[in-house]
Structure 1
């Protein structure tokens, strides 16, 4: 009986400590703009468009003829994937790769006011390589790129939400 009371008091104390420290679940970001023009056609661009539209606070315009309707313009300056050899074995065969995802962008108004200057986001992951499991390693590489892409999208969303005024 005393154990139950102790556990009950402990759980209540833990809940009170968490609520007192300012802990809160992450909410959908709020943006200073309601329309954004972007002409990104890559996988990352599709993911970013979906993330922005899922907030239901931003309309993403991708038609260049409607560019004047947008409050802000997201210019993509670079979007590239790289695969670099990290290590070789004694026979000169690849043992490790480093996968990199680079995304450069800036955010401006149609009038030319720069809201987010030229920014580069770099994600990298190391992956071992074994020539006897090539298909499995290709699948792992695809998953790592997708994970890096999701990280980049979340970083872009946070940076767009940090813009407070146009």
Structure 2
């Protein structure tokens, strides 16, 4: 009886190892799981303020990816990333029986669009809003301020990953060409 259960366990373990080996051998991997994002353009200009922590983290992630250049001059870039608005918010989520704040809701909202060098929209204005709840204790104000800053940094990292996924999903537009002149309209020599 004991030998049969050991054999069943060994057969299951061997089956699991074989399954993992087959998946690894076929080259299966999740898109972006290796930190590489293949965006459909070679260069991008970002309209973030120089002091923007979100802009700095997005630049760092874009540079770590494939061979995408981040241009400081918009006229040299194939894609233009326009920040329409960026805001952080804090609102009261709940009160205790004495009317004091028990929980806050933190929010981080970014509205942006992506255009090509010919000013055509590659990505329409897009809004990403992230929310996190934080319990509040007035006897631990400094600790809660640190926790709040940590939550905003976490939302910022999440926001960067969502932006990267949207940039990868952009479908490149056909190049702009001049309209063809019909042969009948050409003058004869």
TM-score range, shorter chain: 0.7 to 0.9
Quick check: which has more Rg, 1 or 2?
Answer: 2
| TM-score of the aligned structures, taking structure 1 as reference length | 0.88
Tell me, yes or no, if structure 1 residue 139 matches structure 2 residue 149: no
Contact 2:122–2:170 at 8 Å: present in 1 too?
yes
Structure 2 residue aligned with 1:6: 11
| TM-score of the aligned structures, taking structure 2 as reference length | 0.78
Tell me, yes or no, if structure 1 residue 86 matches structure 2 residue 93: yes
Contact 2:114–2:123 at 8 Å: present in 1 too?
yes
Structure 1 residue aligned with 2:176: none
Contact 1:31–1:164 at 8 Å: present in 2 too?
no
Structure 1 residue aligned with 2:47: 39
Gaps of 5+ in 1: none
114-123 or 53-62: which moved more?
Answer: 53-62
Contact 1:84–1:99 at 8 Å: present in 2 too?
yes
Structure 2 residue aligned with 1:68: 75
Structure 1 residue aligned with 2:166: 159
* Aligned partner (choices 12, 27, 30) of residue 38 of structure 2: 30
Deviations 1:46-102 (A, max 9, x none): 11011111114211123xxx2211001000001110001011112221100000000
Deviations 1:24-59 (A, max 9, x none): 242311111111111212111111011111114211
Distance 1:104 1:129, change over 3 A: same
Distance 1:156 1:60, change over 3 A: same
Distance in 2 of aligned mates of 1:141 and 1:108: 34
Distance in 2 of aligned mates of 1:45 and 1:103: 11
Distance in 1 of aligned mates of 2:28 and 2:150: 31
Tell me, yes or no, if structure 1 residue 15 matches structure 2 residue 20: yes
Q: What is the Cα-based RMSD across aligned positions, in Å?
A: 2.4
Distance in 1 of aligned mates of 2:137 and 2:69: 45
Contact 2:38–2:66 at 8 Å: present in 1 too?
no
Structure 2 residue aligned with 1:55: 65
Spell out structure 1 runs of 4+ moving beyond 2 A. 1-8, 10-14, 16-23
